[in-house]
Amino acid sequence: MQTTLADFLIGSDDAEEAKSIIEKCVHCGFCTATCPTYQLVGDELDGPRGRIYLMKQVLEGNELSQSTRKHLDRCLTCRNCESTCPSGVTYGRLVDIGRVIVDERLDTAGMRRPTKERLIRWALREGLTRPRLFGAAMRVGQIMRPALPEVVRRKIPVRQAVVPGGEVSTRKHERKMLLLEGCVQPTMSPNINLATARVLDKAGVELVVARKAGCCGAIRYHTGDHDGGLDDMRRNIDAWWPHVSNGVNTLVINASGCGAMVKEYAHLLRNDPAYAERARVISALAKDLSEVLPELMPVLTNGIQSTSTQEPVAYHPPCTLQHGQRLKGVVEPLLAAFGIEVRLCADSHLCCGSAGTYSVLQPEFSMRLRDDKLKKLTQTGAQTIATANIGCISHLQSGTMQPVVHWVELIDRVLANGNGAAKVLEDKAA
Ligand code: SF4
Ligand code: SF4
């Protein structure tokens, strides 16, 4: 789609990038069929092609209204449309840029978001990205849980028993990898990082956490606070760099939403002379856990029967894994090698409705997508649901009594008959 930037956007790197993305779109509409929000409402403006058209209007300086913002807000940023698009339109990047320009233009025109909406966005950015604050609030919520209304209670996970796999060991290994702990994961589901450490310990890998690292930046960046998100990324690069300089050559990420973000550091910081090169290196070192394990499988599966000996699981591949990171079909063979039968549900390419902060900001669409996903997962007949991202886990768990777990917890359980567990080492130096 030929696009002519409005005078006031000429010279803006983001606007130039958005223009070049839009110009790849040939308006074919293939993406519309796989867009979850289009499927919900059947409105072209709630599908990718319609949203791209809206963003073209915005970039060209045409008049815009609150309705433009509503349709962009309703997008999950699931990037399913990117997987479908034959022309390589990087829609996720486009909508990140488009939302900020729309907000700025509407602010200037006196159409700011309502106060309540701005407060919720601020609370999400400040609350979710501070692990201590979030942890304290969650613990209070867990204590109060029985007395809370059903709708709130379902959003607060029961406090998790941490170590099902045996004693914590402090085994040292020559081979070390960095682990991104995540900001909400250690509170909501502490067993995921511990299971990751235990599994990697069995393969002779020791995990190191840089304590000064924190949120990957996705929460701020994807809610329109680009400067705050970039600052989170720079802080993480500073925290990880001493380890990279010492020869650690893998950054393991077990939350696919965080992994998708860290892999974008290189692009997002490309124009920052102080961080561009280090961001490029960090993005190259970032690996989803499912990319790390294949090399270690001969050691891990030694003595394990790969014929189906475990309960079947219904696996939901998160959008940030299958569309964002383009890692499709990677987890299933790993589980199968441990004798776990994996069942994909119908329409497994579709979002579960979690989508980061979307479940709070767009609850109606989010719940409809969640319930539809749970219905299809249940139809597989498996009692346990597994996925690869803390957001999807907590969102799906809020709608079902069936256990929803991270897939590495299942491998950890199979291995639990072995030699106990490793702990995540604290970094003293960085
Ligand atoms: S990112 Fe997802 S919800 Fe948004 S337009 Fe693309 S397919 Fe639709
Ligand atoms: S599939 Fe790609 S090229 Fe076709 S309308 Fe969608 S974004 Fe544009």
Go through the domains of the chain in sequence order and give each one's CATH number: 7-108 (1.10.1060.10), 304-414 (3.40.50)
User: For residues 260 and 323, is the Cβ–Cβ distance under 8 A?
Assistant: no
| Distance between Cα 320 and ligand 2 center (Å) | 19
Tokens representing residue 190 in the block: 């502490």
* Ligand nearest to the backbone CA of 85: 2
CA of 49 to the centre of ligand 2 (A): 6
Looking at the CA of 369, which ligand is closest?
1
The overall average pLDDT reported for the chain is 90
**pLDDT at position 127:** 80
pLDDT, average across residues 245-260: 97
For residue 306, what pLDDT is reported?
A: 64
Region 268-297: mean pLDDT is 98
| Residue 307 pLDDT | 63
Q: What is the mean pLDDT of residues 411-416?
A: 91
Residues with CB under 6 A from ligand 2: 25-31, 48-49, 52, 81, 84-85, 87, 89
Per the listing, tokens 């839009």 go with 22
- Give the residue, out of 34, 46, 81, 85, with the most ligand 2 atoms within 8 A of its beta carbon, to mutate for a pocket test: 85
Residue nearest to atom 4 of ligand 2 (CA): 28
The sign one gets for the Cα dihedral 353, 356, 358, 363 is positive
User: Left if phi > 0, otherwise alpha if psi is -120 to 50, otherwise beta: which for 206?
Assistant: beta
- The atom of ligand 1 lying closest to the CA of 82 is 6
Instruction: Residue 391: name the closest of 351, 354, 349, 352 by CA.
Output: 354
* Exposed / middle / buried, residue 10 (Cβ in 10 Å: 0-12, 13-18, 19+): exposed
Phi, psi for residue 194 in degrees, rounded to 5? -70, -40
Candidates 430, 327, 302, 345; CA nearest to 388 is 327
Q: Are 346 and 379 in contact (CB under 8 A)?
A: yes
Tell me the C-alpha distance between 269 and 253, whole Å: 20
Name which residue sits closest to atom 3 of ligand 2, judged by CA.
25
Residue pair 310/338 in contact (Cβ under 8 Å)? The answer is yes
pLDDT value of position 155:
65
Tell me the ligand closest to 89's alpha carbon. 2
Of 52, 55, 74, 78, best ligand 1 pocket probe by most atoms within 8 Å of the beta carbon = 78
- For 253, residues 6+ apart whose C-beta sits below 8 A from its C-beta are 179, 180, 216, 259, 262, 286, 287, 288, 289
Task: Give the per-residue SS3 of 119-130.
Answer: HHHHHHHHHHCC
pLDDT for residue 170: 64
> 388 CA to middle of ligand 2, Å?
28
Paired strand residues for 253: 288
CA angle 309/312/313 to nearest 5° reads 135
Report whether 162 contacts 192 (CB < 8 A): no
* Helix, strand, coil % over all residues of the chain, rounded to 5: 55, 10, 40
- List, for residues 126-167, the tens digit of each pLDDT value: 887 777 666 666 666 666 666 665 655 666 666 665 544 444
List the Cα angle 25/84/32 in 5-degree steps.
70
Distance 91 CA to ligand 1 centre (A): 8
| Residues within a 6 A CB radius of ligand 1 | 35-37, 48, 51, 75-81, 91
Q: Which of 44, 141, 129, 142 is nearest to 356 (CA)?
A: 129
Cα(235) to centroid of ligand 2, in Å?
Answer: 36
Query: What pairs with residue 343 in β-bridges?
Result: 314
Share of the chain above pLDDT 90, in %: 78
